[in-house]
Structure 1
Amino acid sequence: MTPRIAPVSEPFTPEVAAILARLPAAWTPPFRLFTVLAREPDLLQRFLRGAVGYRPDSRLSLRQREVLLHRVTANCGCRYEWGMRVHFFQQAAGLTAAQVRASVQGGADDPAWEPADHVLLRLADALHDDCDIGDDLWRDLQAVFADEAILELLLLAGYYRTVAYIANGLRLPPEGGLCHPWPDAREAAT
């Protein structure tokens, strides 16, 4: 699969090289998402500034962030970003193979999920389906999260929906061996 807009390649302009040099070492060589956006360095810079998911002072645990983002990217059918998240964060977030499958194939009440995960999955589903949070879900979120953490969850969900728009719209191919394969319906039945 070839992206609809070709990525820039080395040698990068000094401006693009400086932006890409600030990425985590594990993200090199730079992913196609970044090298396509690097065609317009200002867009790449603005895009990277919006990445709230990697704040050292986050009010969310790594697991909470990844349960939400696995579901957000799965709901958007974004195989590119979902597969990257599984590759880079499944183990550190403590997600089982059944939970990874359920992020694509299951509901918020799938038995693979831990009880604490349900509110995050419901949030991802509500935002995807309605772009809103009903009063019952809001009360459930407030029972678990401080208001500031809820704001972070909303920003994360929105940011990664944007990532899905970009990756899906550009038809970005998987990043070599870095993208976990999308579960198919046969896997869900086993």
Structure 2
Amino acid sequence: MAAAPPRVPPIEPGDWTDETRAALEKWQPPLNFHKTMAHNPRTLANWIGFGQAILWDNLLSRRERELAILRVAAQIRCDYEWGAHKRFTLAEGLASEAEVARLASPIDPAEWSPFEAALIAATDDLLRDGGIGDTAWAGLAERFTPAHYIDLIYLVGEFVMVGMMMKSFRIELDEGFERLPG
């Protein structure tokens, strides 16, 4: 099935404001997501710092972050977020193709380490209930400090917010991004 066309076309770099250009100087080449965010340079500039902190200055390991992000993308059915983070996860060797594929399906805890099963369950809890349930909390407690829980909650929230924007604007997948299975 063909994807619906974008609701708003991305703004190409030649048409960016100085504020947009400054905000995206580190994102080269810019993705369709960034070029669409260029419609609101003020929000883009403010979001860049927040998004960077949530993604990179986070107590979760890179693998843990990507497992949670991919699970968010799968659960909210965001092809763009899935495609971007699947490509990154595989390119960085953070998970196998089979592990990534399992994140788009109902989770069998036996296929994950107990800690990673709890991480995925916590992500699902946040998406479903708006909070981490007791079972997932306990499964993370051996390795998580209160600061880790905060970083996980903000990570999930950030990628739900970004996914909502991507889906609402129907941002076209960049080259090399794959849609969610099914």
The question of a shared fold, defined as TM-score above 0.5 by the shorter chain, is answered with: yes
Q: What is residue 150 of structure 1 aligned with on the other side? A: 149
Q: What is residue 18 of structure 2 aligned with on the other side? A: 14
Contact persistence 1:15–1:41 (CA under 8 A): yes
Say which SS state the counterpart of residue 21 (structure 1) adopts. Answer: coil
Give distance in 1, aligned partners of 2:132 and 2:24: 36
Give TM-score, length-normalised by structure 1.
Answer: 0.85
User: Quick one: structure 1 residues 93 and 154, their matched pair in 2 at CA, closer, same or farther if it must change by over 3 Å?
Assistant: farther
The number of residue pairs the alignment matches comes to 176
Q: Partner amino acid for 1:54?
A: W
Give distance in 2, aligned partners of 1:93 and 1:182: 19
Give distance in 1, aligned partners of 2:134 and 2:82: 29
Q: What is residue 53 of structure 1 aligned with on the other side? A: 55
State the Cα distance separating 1:3 from its structure 2 match: 1.5
State the Cα distance separating 1:94 from its structure 2 match: 2.9
Q: Deviations over 1:117-162 (max 9, x none)?
A: 1011001111111112222322222222111111101100000000
State the Cα distance separating 1:68 from its structure 2 match: 1.0
- Structure 1 residue runs of 5 or longer lacking an equivalent are 185-190
Give distance in 2, aligned partners of 1:9 and 1:110: 46
Contact persistence 1:102–1:110 (CA under 8 A): no
State the Cα distance separating 1:169 from its structure 2 match: 0.8
State the Cα distance separating 1:110 from its structure 2 match: 5.5
Match of 1:3 among 2, 6, 10: 6
For the pair 1:116 / 2:115, whether they are aligned, the reply is: yes
Q: What is residue 159 of structure 2 aligned with on the other side? A: 160
Q: What is residue 66 of structure 2 aligned with on the other side? A: 66
Mean Cα displacement is larger for which, 78-87 or 126-135?
Answer: 126-135
Give distance in 2, aligned partners of 1:121 and 1:93: 19
Give TM-score, length-normalised by structure 2.
Answer: 0.89
State the Cα distance separating 1:174 from its structure 2 match: 0.8
Give distance in 2, aligned partners of 1:149 and 1:108: 24
Give distance in 2, aligned partners of 1:126 and 1:168: 21
Contact persistence 2:74–2:180 (CA under 8 A): no
Give distance in 2, aligned partners of 1:33 and 1:173: 8
